[in-house]
């Protein structure tokens, strides 16, 4: 689809006001994603930074994933909420438009990169349990590489994103920088689809399948060896790899499900008949919520499927409960003291009379 057709379809969708039920549904979704995403990811980051025993290789990659989610929740979500409440009229300026536009491809690439790193780490633990663990320095180098590659993938957006003004004077954030009558924009977004979605999920599926097969068949895990120390070390390493399986599977499924709608909408708009559909506004609005929802669902997966993070979440909830209980007890004690003081004052007055 040409840029002119793309711009006209965006103008048509922006010119249509959402019905009341849809507006309130989107408001609730935006607020829920913001609150859960901020709270959950901050707890994960705080736990890893404050507790040394949580700084394992998988938890450091999880920390990186939580940081990427925090960037989306703190920058991208508020800009979308602002535009939504302003009838999709972009009022945050050209610079903020470029920043908001690059956030999604940048952070989603970092997220899938972190999931790939966890998968490879688990694969190494299952297939070659005697290989040395990665040092913190190497893990930091891998995380830095993930962000550098993510930035390179998202960099073209900085130069093509910007604000546009429609014929009726409405300003919106779009991609006016792509060459006109060119397929470069479609080539770019299809490349993002392959590099950020299809290829990583295939690699994760293949490595996870091999690791699962090795877990069942590996003689090192099932057979006693001459050295009891080696046997215990191998079993411990493979058990650690098995523990992360459920959380990794949940995170990959969340990513696959939440990222699919936007990609499907892109292909439907560019090569299908979505622009002729009367319900396209609903499809477009809800598909935009899914990548943001991914950032709120991830910490729920950490807190329910990772025992270490689950303990952190529970301890924080207990502290909050004890804090509230202490405040209530203090207030009741103060009320009792005030009542006692009042009674003593009345007794003194009666004696004076």
pLDDT number for residue 344: 44
Please tell me the CATH code under which domain 3-305 is placed: 1.20.1070.10
Say if CB 230 and CB 239 are below 8 A apart.
no
**Taking the model in full, what pTM does it have?**
0.80
How many other CB atoms are there within 10 angstroms of residue 71's CB atom? 15
Q: How many CB atoms lie within 10 A of CB 4?
A: 10
Contacts of 132 (CB under 8 A, 6+ apart): none
pLDDT string in tens for the chain (353-residue length): 333 334 445 555 555 566 777 788 888 999 999 999 999 999 888 888 887 777 888 889 999 999 999 999 999 999 999 888 888 788 888 999 999 999 999 999 999 999 999 999 888 877 777 778 888 899 999 999 999 999 999 999 999 999 988 888 888 888 888 888 888 999 999 999 999 999 999 999 999 888 778 766 654 455 555 556 555 655 665 555 556 778 888 999 999 999 999 999 999 888 888 777 777 777 888 888 999 999 999 988 887 877 777 777 777 767 655 545 545 555 555 555 455 455 544 454 444 44
Phi-psi bin for 169: left (phi > 0), alpha (psi -120 to 50), beta?
A: left
Per-residue model confidence (pLDDT) at position 279: 74
Q: Which helix (H) or strand (E) holds 129?
A: none
| Contact residues for 219 (Cβ-Cβ < 8 A; gap 6+) | none
Residues across the chain: 353
Where along the chain do its domains lie? 3-305, 320-353
- For 319, residues 6+ apart whose C-beta sits below 8 A from its C-beta are none
């Amino acid at each position: 689809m040409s840029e002119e057709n793309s711009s006209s379809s965006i103008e048509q969708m922006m010119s249509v006001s959402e019905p009341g039920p849809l507006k309130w549904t989107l408001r609730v979704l935006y607020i829920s994603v913001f609150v859960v995403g901020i709270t959950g990811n901050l707890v994960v980051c705080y736990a890893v930074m404050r507790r040394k025993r949580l700084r394992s290789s998988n938890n450091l990659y999880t920390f990186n994933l939580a940081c990427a989610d925090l960037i989306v929740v703190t920058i991208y979500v508020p800009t979308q909420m602002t535009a939504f409440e302003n009838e999709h009229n972009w009022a945050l300026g050209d610079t903020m438009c470029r920043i908001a536009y690059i956030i999604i491809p940048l952070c989603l690439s970092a997220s899938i990169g972190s999931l790939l790193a966890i998968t490879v780490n688990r694969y190494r633990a299952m297939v070659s349990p005697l290989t040395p663990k990665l040092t913190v320095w190497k893990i930091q180098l891998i995380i830095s590489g993930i962000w550098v590659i993510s930035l390179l993938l998202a960099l073209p957006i900085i130069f093509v994103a910007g604000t546009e003004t429609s014929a009726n004077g409405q300003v919106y954030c779009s991609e006016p920088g792509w060459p006109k009558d060119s397929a470069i924009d479609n080539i770019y977004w299809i490349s993002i689809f392959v590099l950020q979605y299809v290829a990583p999920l295939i690699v994760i599926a293949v490595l996870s399948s091999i690791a699962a097969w090795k877990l069942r068949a590996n003689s090192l895990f099932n057979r006693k060896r001459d050295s009891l120390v080696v046997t215990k070390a191998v079993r411990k390493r493979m058990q650690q790899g098995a523990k992360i399986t459920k959380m990794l599977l949940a995170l990959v499924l969340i990513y696959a499900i939440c990222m699919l709608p936007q990609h499907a909408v892109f292909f439907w708009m560019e090569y299908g008949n979505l622009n002729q559909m009367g319900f396209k506004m609903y499809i477009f609005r809800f598909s935009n919520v899914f990548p943001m929802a991914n950032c709120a669902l991830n910490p729920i997966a950490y807190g329910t499927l990772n025992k270490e993070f689950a303990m952190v979440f529970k301890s924080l909830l207990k502290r909050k409960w004890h804090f509230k209980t202490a405040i209530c007890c203090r207030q009741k004690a103060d009320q009792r003291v005030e009542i006692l003081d009042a009674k003593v004052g009345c007794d003194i007055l009666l004696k004076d009379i």
